[in-house]
Structure 1
Amino acid sequence: MAAFEVRGGQKLQGEIIPQGAKNEALQILCAVLLSPEPITISNVPNIRDVNKLIELLRDLGVKVGRVAPDTYVFQAEDVHIDYLDTPQFVAQARELRGSVMLLGPLLARYGRAQLPKPGGDKIGRRPLDTHFVGLEKLGAQLTLEGTDFYRLHVTGKLHGASMLLDEASVTGTANIVMAAVLAEGTTTIYNAACEPYLQQLCRMLVRMGAKIQGIGSNLLTIEGVESLGGTEHRMLPDMIEIGSFIGLAAMTGSEITIKDCQIPELGIIPDTFRKLGIKLEFRGDDIHIPAQEHYELATYLDGSILTVSDHTWPGFTPDLLSIILVVATQAKGTVLIHQKMFESRLFFVDKLIDMGAQIILCDPHRATVIGLDRQKQLHGITMSSPDIRAGVALLIAALSADGKSTILNVEQIDRGYQNIDERLNALGADIRRV
């Protein structure tokens, strides 16, 4: 098990380029199974979850060529569908949450798919019902073995259907879209997710020959086609990394410029950080965060304390609430953090309290943060990273803290952040991997 030794209190300065989007990559990589023709994908992040999915695709028989450090060519011309029956596939799929999005492409093109309950962060209940209900409405038959192994098959071809999703699940919408593009007839999906990454997937499929209307809205209409061709696709920068770097600059009082951010795709993320009192300057497509000694939380017009909560897009992404919470610990003022989607995601606050933060965990979904306004600096401790986003939040806290911190289980951070220690050290951080 790897760990980070972090010596905090360093001012950071310089430019940093965000990696390709992890959550987009997991969708796009699964979509290569829909066509026998070559598909070139660039800005692929070099992170554990993505690399594991690429390895799984290669073991399924997909030809994988790496033509540049961040660019791959995939060709699913001869997929070994029987690999699904092997213990190796089961072990690989269990390690990776994104493996669930293999179901739609495999079912659409090969008529069968199966999967053990996928892994991923332990952040609370993450049911897969939306995926299976949608695929069943397209004509798939589901068999559940025990409580954690799923088999899907279809007799003949999938057929279009009208459906109203019970939740606007991003991965659920992606799975259903990837199945529907090769189904017979027309599919309408109400309450579809409309995140930029889902839009990216849909646009890529359209370039491959799919017929999708309503991209960017919560109503998608898909007219099935016989087959899809190849294409080239470049992934967006990772909005979660961009938000993490904004929070890092604020917490450490540093001056950082984040390059090539695709600002129009960030939604309300910049304005949410501005509500914490953080100054942001847009310079073309770059975001410049000037060094700030103090930042003050906004209040509502009637003077009541600010609430920051997650919501489906275009609301605030739940993946950045951990960063918002940490940044608020050194702000002036009080904020209520409301994590609606996952009931275990706030449990890392006990480590922040041990570091000296003033946080009241109201219940599994809500925490009240009383900002210290830098009057009392956090101090270093030994802690463990419970999931990707909390792990980076703790790293940001450690970089702002007095003394040395040790963060265990940093493999969780590596799942979502590319060479984070090396990239932050280039800005002046003091992080040692041990």
Structure 2
Amino acid sequence: MVNTKNINLVGIGLGNPNLLTKAAISALERSTVIIGAKRMVDSVKEDFPNKKYFTEYNTEKIIEIIRENMDSETAVVFSGDISLFSGSLKLFDKLKYLVEEKDFKDCNINTYPGISSLSYLCAKSNTDISKVKILSFHGKEELLYHNIDSNEFTFIITSKGEGVKEICRKLIDFGLFDLDIILGENLSYENERITKAKASKLIEMEISDLNCMLISNPDADKSISIGLPDEVFARDKVPITKSEVRAVIMSKLDICQNSICYDIGAGSGSISIEMSRLAYEGKVYAIEKNPLAVELIKKNIHNFSAENIELIHAKAPDGLDNILDADKIFIGGSGGELINMMEMIFTSKKNPTIVISAITMETIAQITDIVKLAKEKGYDTEITAVNVSKSKEVGPYNMMIAQNMVFIAVIKM
């Protein structure tokens, strides 16, 4: 008979052994070897004595420990639930490719969910978990404003106590200072504390490093419109791509939530702002050479809390260091370098969607050459002329006042 070995990936919950599931307890009782990070190992040692314990969290090292103990049933313990920001996901992927190896032949990989800090805090606060957006600032960066502004509840796993305060400072800067925050500290332990407060109060508190937070925004708005009114932007004397033309440009770019975007010749930043709202899990690079325009872009970034815009004060093609990573590119001003920029962009293996606007005959002539070159490289192309007129009251009458005709070229695979 084949001697089948079990590798058990166990979510131990928040750390209180009383919250272990019966299935997890059974798996730990059967296992001779238990591996995990120090806090997880310490939380089960007392209730499961006479085991061979290893304190380790590195995936490759855990695999080596399992390999060296293949004659024993093994459990790897993880905090919370193994499906929520858990190292077990990476370990499972590694192990499933090893089961055909001689050492791992006939091994079963078993998974045991635990109670997550998310489900625990939602239960304690009577919050519908189906309405919650989940973020983690533990060892990574997330875009905060859009997620909180567009979700009724946002759950955040933070990085230490200072991480909570940093998020609260950002909320105040964003003007979201009046939102209710439920802070959970040391959940399930004897020193558990759950606090409901505004950001300003939490900043003044001593906060445990073992924490998570749930932010409530009853006025959340999930809609994202394009073609924002011109009046919402700081403009001064810098030209702005008008609202109706901007809407056409954004529709042609077809930006996804995780797109990497470039706005070259960003002007006052209206296109950059529109990009950032659509690519709310992506990145926008705004390239502008005019010092006055750069200051306006800074104001608009602040006014719209556009965390995912990186402003680069340069004349293209300078400042295009990451252009080959972009999948959406808008060129509204080229400074006479349009051909050079396009030659650089055409070397990208990402086959980006490129939209170019033009109002001068000289730029239109260059676009004609670029379109011809793009077709030779296998791109689809189109050129659209947009002519917008808007009404203006003149005495008792309304007259239609024409804006500049704008030519919009689209180049995409």
Give the alignment's TM-score, normalised by structure 2: 0.28
Bigger Rg, which one: 2
